[in-house]
Structure 1
Amino acid sequence: MKGLSGKRVEIPSMEEIMQERKRLSYRRRYKRVLKSTAYALVVVAAIAVLLATNLLPVLQVSGDSMNPTLQDQDILVLLKTDTLEKGDLCGFYWQNKLLLKRIISIPGDVISIDGNGLVTVNGEVLEEPYVDELALGECDLSFPYQVPENRFFVMGDHRATSIDSRSTVVGCVEKSQIVGKVFLRVWPVPRISWIG
């Protein structure tokens, strides 16, 4: 058969037409799958961001104030909660920084720390297996000290170097400053450690 230009044009066979239709159909399906996968990834990323900012914030430890419990560069997941108890590790904002310390006493408790760093809360010596070495550290408070309402007395586990509620520079932490308590250490992963 001759076309308009006078050149010979071959009409494709039924088999060639069917193969071309399959190829075009496959291409359409591939584009649909690619598009739906991209949408799914965007939705998953958005949900992850919402979870990370609103329910399970992630932070990286910087410094050694929580040694030996946590090391510099550990990555942690916090859990936003209103239930905070003595012994919980919590992240809180202080001067536009996110600090990580342990709750030693809650609102209304009376706390004392002697010259050797021995802590008593409401007249009872605090058992602290997470502390390697007791020390008074940087402290300018007068003891006994009563924790104000709606505030928490926090200290780092490495008492000699930690700047915490023992110093009036930091003081007791308001509940509104607390981002959440440590829920899980993500990295490094020699073992999954539930902390608190």
Structure 2
Amino acid sequence: MMSLRNLKQWLRKTKKNNQKHKKQETTEDTIVQILTDEEDFDDLRVKDLRQELRRVKYNQKFIGSLFNTIGTLIVAAALAIIISNVFMPVLQVTGNSMAPTLEEGEILLANKNAKFNTGDIIAFYYNNKILVKRVIATAGDWINISADGTVYVNDIEIDEPYLIDKALGDCNLDFPYQIPESKIFVMGDHRSVSLDSRNSNIGCISEEQIVGRVDLCIWPLSGVRKVN
């Protein structure tokens, strides 16, 4: 009587021969029918054979599904990286210079192609780092900051509802100060600690330094919101 071990060996040999000669793959029912025609093959062996064939078939489907899933994840990750680098850079807040608007550890999306106006929050390069600040004035504007931290642009006090308190902060500029051509004056919302355009070490930034306008906070999930 043919043992189950010999049966498995016979099945492997048959499969190799079919692949070699490009014959149509033998189905489960056909194999079982062929073997049940043998006089020395009992019902128990047929049952074992069916179980073995189903196990092999399941494993093949599982492996195929696994490879498809992995491939999909790789493509999705590649697309996410491309989108992040080309259109929507992902940034993480470090420090508290933009508190309370942005808190340390929050993750932001910046829009590279978006235009910005005064009052918008932007990300920009500075000394191989990316800083996040608020646009206060643009080229040609005159800015003045009083001793108590009140900001005037072109002799008009600007409304800043995003501030907790005002402060002159780390400032070494002589006021009134005119923003140079093609430059942008930025400040952090936490005026007493932020190092920004008020200090000549950073100064006004150029448009070439800008990474993008910060539009969304995407992490933590409890803090997902539009940034303004």
User: TM-score band (shorter)?
Assistant: 0.7 to 0.9
Three-state SS of the structure 2 residue aligned to 1:190 is helix
| Number of residues of Structure 1 aligned to a counterpart in Structure 2 | 190
Q: 2:164 aligns with which of 129, 132, 136?
A: 132
Three-state SS of the structure 2 residue aligned to 1:179 is strand
2:54 aligns with 22
- C-alpha contact (below 8 Å) 2:2/2:41 kept by paired residues: no
Opposite residue 55 of structure 1, the aligned amino acid is F
Residue correspondence of structure 1 range 1-196 to structure 2 within 5 A:
1=1, 11=41, 16-196=48-228
Deviation at 1:38, TM superposition (A): 0.8
User: Equivalent pairs: percent with the same residue?
Assistant: 42
Taking the aligned partners of 1:130 and 1:26, their CA distance within structure 2 comes to 60
Deviation at 1:15, TM superposition (A): 5.2
Opposite residue 119 of structure 1, the aligned amino acid is V
Three-state SS of the structure 1 residue aligned to 2:222 is coil
Taking the aligned partners of 2:61 and 2:119, their CA distance within structure 1 comes to 56
Distance 1:11 1:65, change over 3 A: same
Q: What TM-score do you get using the length of structure 1 for normalisation?
A: 0.87
Opposite residue 152 of structure 2, the aligned amino acid is T
Deviation at 1:155, TM superposition (A): 0.2
Q: What TM-score do you get using the length of structure 2 for normalisation?
A: 0.75
Higher RCO, Cα 8 Å, sep 6+: 1
Taking the aligned partners of 1:164 and 1:183, their CA distance within structure 2 comes to 20
2:16 aligns with none
Q: Please, which runs of 5 or more residues in structure 1 have no aligned partner?
A: 4-9
Taking the aligned partners of 2:68 and 2:159, their CA distance within structure 1 comes to 55
Three-state SS of the structure 1 residue aligned to 2:217 is strand
Distance 1:104 1:14, change over 3 A: same
Deviation at 1:18, TM superposition (A): 4.4
Taking the aligned partners of 2:206 and 2:126, their CA distance within structure 1 comes to 10
RMSD of aligned alpha carbons = 2.1
Taking the aligned partners of 1:14 and 1:150, their CA distance within structure 2 comes to 83
Taking the aligned partners of 1:190 and 1:15, their CA distance within structure 2 comes to 55
Q: Please, which runs of 5 or more residues in structure 2 have no aligned partner?
A: 4-39
Three-state SS of the structure 2 residue aligned to 1:158 is coil
Opposite residue 70 of structure 1, the aligned amino acid is L
Deviation at 1:89, TM superposition (A): 1.0
Structure 1 or 2: larger helix share?
A: 2
Deviations 1:138-168 (A, max 9, x none): 1111222222222210001111111100111
